[in-house]
């Protein structure tokens, strides 16, 4: 039994860190930009904190910046240090992990665009109401003095940016991030494998509530949440449950809520969280029927939430070795440099913490330069800040084209992965089959998004073939989970045929083909 829990917790911990690493790094650099290039006064101006539009700006800026619910923690701490109103902070904190250029494109392709637009507007309603209430609860914060945090110019400013990003990883932000990760791993270890496959069905009137109860402790990246929501739309699951997942799962986590409770007090936090849950679940029930996709037959189950449950069955043997093998495969498929950069920044931050006990690095960073170099030009901090933030947005858009490659490139990978999935299922290599099926599903979704990015649309014929292919993959995964040898062999052949039809439908992506 001990091996069962250790293997499950270890694998889920590793997966969560790899998933979150790049988003946390981005969050630390955004924090450093706010502090070292903009400064507290300029941050308040950008968030329209002195006007009635603060909540709207928090929502809009949150829609642009690419961070997750863990990566947003250092940013909200910086906004608090800068004296931004608590309502604006809440609006930003709840929106930023939900939507960004990459996740919105993913959602628009795999779900009904009206549904994604409706989700965005509902998120605005939630942050507006909760933010307004939050601004009125308790005493108004005292003005925080605008401490000098922006170096004058030159190389010191660049050094200060990197210094602050690394130090943020070795600050109280790390404690709250660790709380969020621990809560997610704990709930995933305690919930048995497959337990959530039937909780989000369209016919279950309590689906939005069931998801709301488990959503807050879990951690989900914006892309993962959008992938799950797209799958729920295509499988005819509860739309209200999908909305609860987005707001309370991807939008919040135990670490972020822990910071709110520590910063503003338990009583205020409880009123805030209760209000957030009530409004979210209420809107979930309101939109459940109107947004339900027409002509979709409920699948009767979903694997969307398998990542939030224990990865293994209690009857399996050699779980530690299996967890190690799956961790290695997961690293190859999902590591894009974020985890390595996160570890490097953490090490640098820890060293800087020791050095600061003997040397005042802050004093050197903020000191006036004794001599000027032709390479060091005086550029206003707000200009550099805006350029840096814009650069992050542009980088996320460019990242879309890298993460969602052209069909020709993607089919090379999908062809090999599909073959591995089919062969593994036929030869009863159940763990390998389960792994390759998940990769096939992910690549088929990225295929559609890649076409959408490059053509501005995707043909109904191609979309239908991709959907059919994923349905066959889902049937195969069910057979693999049940270890049904006869069904697995037959379904594997169906998957192979569906893949051939999928490949043929994407061979000619001319405008005429896309319009059919």
Domain with 490 in it? 406-507
Q: Is residue 43 part of a domain?
A: yes
Question: Which has the higher per-residue pLDDT, 390 or 511?
Answer: 390
Indicate whether 141 pLDDT > 60.
no
- CB-CB contact of 447 with 466 (8 Å): yes
CATH code at 500? 1.20.120.290
- For the chain, give the number of residues: 516
Query: Do 383 and 413 reside in the same domain of the chain?
Result: no
Indicate whether 296 pLDDT > 80.
no
Q: Model confidence at 512, in pLDDT bands (50, 70, 90)? A: very low
Indicate whether 179 pLDDT > 80.
yes
Indicate whether 30 pLDDT > 70.
yes
Indicate whether 515 pLDDT > 50.
no
Residue 193: predicted pLDDT: 83
Entry pTM = 0.79
pLDDT-wise least confident of 47-61, 150-164, 295-309, 353-367:
295-309
Query: Do 290 and 426 reside in the same domain of the chain?
Result: no
β-bridge mates for residue 237, sequence order: 201
Mapping DSSP to helix (H, G, I), strand (E, B) and coil, where does residue 188 land?
helix
Indicate whether 464 pLDDT > 60.
yes
Query: Do 394 and 416 reside in the same domain of the chain?
Result: no
Q: Model confidence at 181, in pLDDT bands (50, 70, 90)? A: very high
Mapping DSSP to helix (H, G, I), strand (E, B) and coil, where does residue 83 land?
coil
List pLDDT tens digits, range 436-454.
Answer: 888 888 888 888 888 887 8
Query: Do 202 and 311 reside in the same domain of the chain?
Result: yes
Distance CA 54, CA 48 (A): 5
Query: Do 390 and 432 reside in the same domain of the chain?
Result: no
56 token code pair:
């709207």
Query: Do 219 and 344 reside in the same domain of the chain?
Result: yes
Indicate whether 236 pLDDT > 70.
yes
pLDDT-wise least confident of 130-144, 308-322, 498-512:
130-144
Give the DSSP letter string of 315-380: T-S-HHHHHHHHHHHHHHHH-SSHHHHHHHHHHHHHHHHHHTTTS-HHHHHHSPPSS--TT-----
Nearest to 36, CA basis, from 80, 70, 78: 78
**In the chain, how many domains are there?**
2
Query: Do 418 and 397 reside in the same domain of the chain?
Result: no
Indicate whether 184 pLDDT > 80.
yes
Mean pLDDT over 253-278 rounds to 89
List pLDDT tens digits, range 187-235.
Answer: 989 888 877 777 777 777 888 888 888 888 888 888 777 777 777 776 6
113 token code pair:
């665009």
- CB-CB contact of 127 with 90 (8 Å): yes
- CB-CB contact of 125 with 283 (8 Å): yes
């Amino acid at each position: 039994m001990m091996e069962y829990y250790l293997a499950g917790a270890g694998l889920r911990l590793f997966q969560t860190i790899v998933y979150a690493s790049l988003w946390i790094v981005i969050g630390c650099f955004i924090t450093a930009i706010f502090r070292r290039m903009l400064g507290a006064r300029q941050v308040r101006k950008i968030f329209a904190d002195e006007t009635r539009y603060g909540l709207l700006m928090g929502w809009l800026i949150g829609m642009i910046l690419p961070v997750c619910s863990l990566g947003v923690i250092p940013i909200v701490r910086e906004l608090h240090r800068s004296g931004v109103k608590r309502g604006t902070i809440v609006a930003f904190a709840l929106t930023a992990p939900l939507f960004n250029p990459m996740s919105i494109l993913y959602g628009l392709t795999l779900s009904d665009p009206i549904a994604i637009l409706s989700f965005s507007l509902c998120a605005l309603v939630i942050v507006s109401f909760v933010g307004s209430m939050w601004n009125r609860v308790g005493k108004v914060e005292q003005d925080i003095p605008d401490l000098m945090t922006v170096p004058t110019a030159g190389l010191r400013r660049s050094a200060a940016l990197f210094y602050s990003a690394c130090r943020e990883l070795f600050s109280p932000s790390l404690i709250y991030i660790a709380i969020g990760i621990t809560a997610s791993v704990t709930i995933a270890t305690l919930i048995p494998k497959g337990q959530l496959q039937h909780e989000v069905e369209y016919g279950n009137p309590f689906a939005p509530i069931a998801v709301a109860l488990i959503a807050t402790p879990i951690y989900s990246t914006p892309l993962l949440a959008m992938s799950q929501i797209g799958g729920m739309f295509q499988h005819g699951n509860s739309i209200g449950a999908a909305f609860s997942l987005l707001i309370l799962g991807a939008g919040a986590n135990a670490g972020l809520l822990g910071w709110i409770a520590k910063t503003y007090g338990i009583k205020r936090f409880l009123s805030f969280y209760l209000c957030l849950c009530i409004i979210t679940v209420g809107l979930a029930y309101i939109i459940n029927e109107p947004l339900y996709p027409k002509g979709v037959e409920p699948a009767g189950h979903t694997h969307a939430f398998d990542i939030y449950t224990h990865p293994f069955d209690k009857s399996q043997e050699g779980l530690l070795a299996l967890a190690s093998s799956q961790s290695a495969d997961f690293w190859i498929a999902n590591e894009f440099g974020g985890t390595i950069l996160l570890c490097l920044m953490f090490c640098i931050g820890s060293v800087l913490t020791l050095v600061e006990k003997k040397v005042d690095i802050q004093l050197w960073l903020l000191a006036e330069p004794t001599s000027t170099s032709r390479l060091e030009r005086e550029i206003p901090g707000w200009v550099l800040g805006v350029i840096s933030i814009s650069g992050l947005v542009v980088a996320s858009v460019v990242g879309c084209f890298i993460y969602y490659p052209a069909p020709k490139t993607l089919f090379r990978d999908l062809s090999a992965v599909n073959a591995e999935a089919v062969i593994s299922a036929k030869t009863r290599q159940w763990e390998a089959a389960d792994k390759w099926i998940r990769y096939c599903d992910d690549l088929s979704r990225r295929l559609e998004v890649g076409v959408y990015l490059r053509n501005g649309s995707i043909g109904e014929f191609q979309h239908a073939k991709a959907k059919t292919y994923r349905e066959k993959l889902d049937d195969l995964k069910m057979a693999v989970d049940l270890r049904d040898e006869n069904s697995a062999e037959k379904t594997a052949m169906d998957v192979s045929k569906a893949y051939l039809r999928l490949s043929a439908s994407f061979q000619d992506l001319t405008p005429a083909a896309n319009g059919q």
